[in-house]
């Protein structure tokens, strides 16, 4: 890993530490105050707790891994990296399980296929993003391109900015969904663009962020359209 890129990567540990701290505020009303008997609309408490556990573990991993590199704990970094071979599939499984439970809860078997896809569009995209970024991260790890490996691993964490910060403003601050989601989208873009500019300034692999940004646009453009064109004022 280039020294300049190592500095960028190791600094992201503090960013994800802040994101981890926001988890409590984001899910205080809808999860922690009713734990362990979650009272959300999804009936399967086990799936909710499983999803919460693996997601929190992933954010903790995103905090720990860069800091382990910063403090030269390479053996522990590699050991935790191997743990992701188990944790990543569990996270993907939790995404799919949440959609599966919701599918049966609202009797979607009677729906048209396009209506089902429309309903799960954003959840499906987040699942595809995570799979893509994690896969590219591991491929580049074995190719020896550590800067790309680290960049795509960071990208898996960018996915969590939206659901966490949206809930901070919607659940904790009491803003409308439109305001909360807009702030979440903007914060995601600011984080991504900041990483891109830092990488470009230090003459490292910055072009991967173009791919990441293009993928996030598949989520953001339809979301902005829904909030401000088709269903304004929500």
Residue 177, pLDDT > 60, answer: yes
Average pLDDT over residues 182-194: 94
pTM (predicted TM-score):
0.89
Segment among 23-37, 60-74, 141-155 with least mean pLDDT: 23-37
Cα gap 54→56, rounded to integer Å: 5
**pLDDT given at position 234:** 62
Using pLDDT thresholds of 50, 70 and 90, give the confidence band for residue 218. very high
36: its two tokens: 């362990």
Cα gap 5→117, rounded to integer Å: 39
Extents of the domains making up the chain:
3-230
155: its two tokens: 């990208």
Residue 147 CA from chain centroid, whole number: 20
Residue 135, pLDDT > 90, answer: yes
The Cβ of residue 15 has, within 10 Å, a number of other Cβ atoms equal to 19
Cα gap 157→145, rounded to integer Å: 19
Residue 36, pLDDT > 70, answer: no
Using pLDDT thresholds of 50, 70 and 90, give the confidence band for residue 48. confident
**pLDDT given at position 43:** 58
Closest CA to 52 of 94, 88, 17: 94
Segment among 60-69, 83-92, 112-121, 197-206 with least mean pLDDT: 197-206
Residue 91, pLDDT > 60, answer: yes
Segment among 34-48, 72-86, 100-114 with least mean pLDDT: 34-48
In contact, 190 and 207? CB cutoff 8 Å: no
Closest CA to 59 of 135, 140, 130: 130
Length reported for the chain:
234
In contact, 196 and 213? CB cutoff 8 Å: yes
64: its two tokens: 């720990």
**pLDDT given at position 3:** 45
């Amino acid at each position: 890993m280039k020294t300049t890129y190592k500095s960028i990567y190791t600094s992201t540990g503090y960013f994800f530490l802040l994101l981890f701290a926001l988890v409590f505020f984001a899910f205080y009303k809808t999860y922690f105050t009713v734990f362990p008997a979650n009272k959300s609309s999804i009936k399967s408490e086990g799936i909710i707790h499983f999803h919460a556990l693996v997601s929190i573990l992933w954010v903790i991993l995103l905090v720990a891994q860069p800091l382990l590199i910063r403090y030269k704990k390479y053996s522990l970094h590699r050991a935790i990296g191997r743990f992701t071979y188990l944790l990543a599939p569990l996270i993907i499984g939790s995404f799919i399980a949440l959609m599966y439970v919701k599918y049966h809860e609202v009797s979607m078997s009677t729906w048209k296929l396009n209506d089902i896809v429309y309903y799960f569009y954003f959840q499906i995209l987040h699942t595809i993003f995570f799979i893509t970024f994690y896969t590219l991260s591991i491929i580049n790890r074995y190719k020896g391109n550590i800067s790309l490996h680290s960049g795509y691993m960071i990208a898996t964490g960018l996915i969590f900015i939206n659901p966490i910060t949206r809930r901070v403003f919607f659940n904790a601050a009491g803003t409308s969904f439109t305001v909360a989601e807009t702030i979440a989208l903007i914060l995601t873009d600011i984080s991504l663009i900041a990483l891109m500019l830092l990488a470009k300034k230090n003459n490292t692999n910055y072009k991967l962020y173009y791919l990441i940004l293009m993928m996030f646009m598949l989520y953001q453009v339809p979301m902005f359209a829904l909030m401000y064109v088709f269903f304004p004022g929500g």
